[in-house]
């Protein structure tokens, strides 16, 4: 298994290819070799990303079958099922890197801001369960001058939500915390730009 640092570099190189509009031969070959993955997988990175249809991890990082273990949920929030999924992959596949992947113009974060600024009882309890996970990232920012600049407020809230989710994984699981302390296991945040296609890693 490759190291966490090597995994980050591999993701960066894949994202550069995506932005340039090219695909690696390896990625294309793996799609034609799906039978080889029937009996197992060996993902080099775990991605906890947003469900937004414009941010498919395998595509924006130009990776093929078996390369990434991807968990997607609106707002890239961290709930027990997501923590368990990360623990599962880290333990079973010995994967060394976890990336919490948010993105610009995130609808879930925007919905949280809207709910805090203009509370509504019409939202479903299931949607509110997502909003309430993002709320701690946004509330402190509404107490600053950012509340007067909707665009910057959204940008800052998205970044804060990524970092809160990253820290939750680092410190909300004894298993993951132990792995980080033992050495070459990293949990980092990253943000995908819908506008440019680039991923900015928060190492």
Write phi, then psi, for 164 (nearest 5 degrees). Answer: -65, -45
pLDDT (tens place) for every residue of the chain, 203 residues total: 799 999 999 999 999 999 999 988 887 777 767 777 677 788 999 999 999 999 999 999 999 888 999 999 999 999 999 999 999 999 999 999 999 999 999 999 999 999 998 887 777 888 889 999 999 999 999 999 999 999 999 999 999 999 999 999 999 899 999 999 998 899 999 999 999 999 999 98
Predicted TM-score of the model (pTM): 0.93
Q: How are beta strands 199-202 and 186-192 bridged, if at all?
A: antiparallel
pLDDT at 6: 97
pLDDT at 109: 97
Tell me, rounded to whole angstroms, the distance of Cα 119 from its chain centroid: 27
Superfamily of segment(s) 4-202 = Carbonic anhydrase (3.40.1050.10)
Would you list the domain boundaries of the chain?
4-202
pLDDT at 40: 75
Nearest CA-CA partner of 190 in 182, 198, 181, 199: 199
Query: For residues 5 and 20, what is the distance between their CA atoms, to the nearest angstrom?
Result: 23
pLDDT at 134: 96
């Amino acid at each position: 298994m490759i190291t966490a640092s090597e995994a980050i570099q591999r993701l960066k190189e894949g994202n550069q290819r995506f932005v340039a509009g090219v695909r690696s031969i390896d990625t294309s070959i793996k799609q034609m070799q799906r039978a080889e993955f029937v009996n197992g997988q060996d993902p080099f990175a775990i991605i906890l990303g947003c469900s937004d249809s414009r941010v498919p991890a395998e595509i924006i990082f130009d990776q093929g079958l078996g390369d990434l273990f991807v968990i997607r949920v609106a707002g890239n929030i961290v709930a027990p099922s997501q923590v368990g999924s990360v623990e599962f992959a880290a333990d079973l596949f010995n994967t060394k890197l976890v990336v919490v992947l948010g993105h610009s113009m995130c609808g879930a974060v925007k919905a949280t801001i809207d709910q805090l600024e203009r509370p509504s009882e019409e939202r479903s309890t299931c949607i509110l369960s997502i909003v309430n996970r993002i709320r701690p990232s946004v509330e402190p920012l509404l107490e600053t001058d950012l509340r007067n600049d909707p665009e910057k407020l959204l940008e800052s809230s998205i970044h804060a939500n990524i970092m809160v989710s990253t820290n939750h994984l680092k410190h909300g699981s004894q298993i993951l915390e132990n792995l980080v302390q033992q050495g070459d296991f990293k949990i980092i945040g990253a943000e995908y730009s819908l506008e440019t296609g680039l991923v900015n890693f928060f190492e």
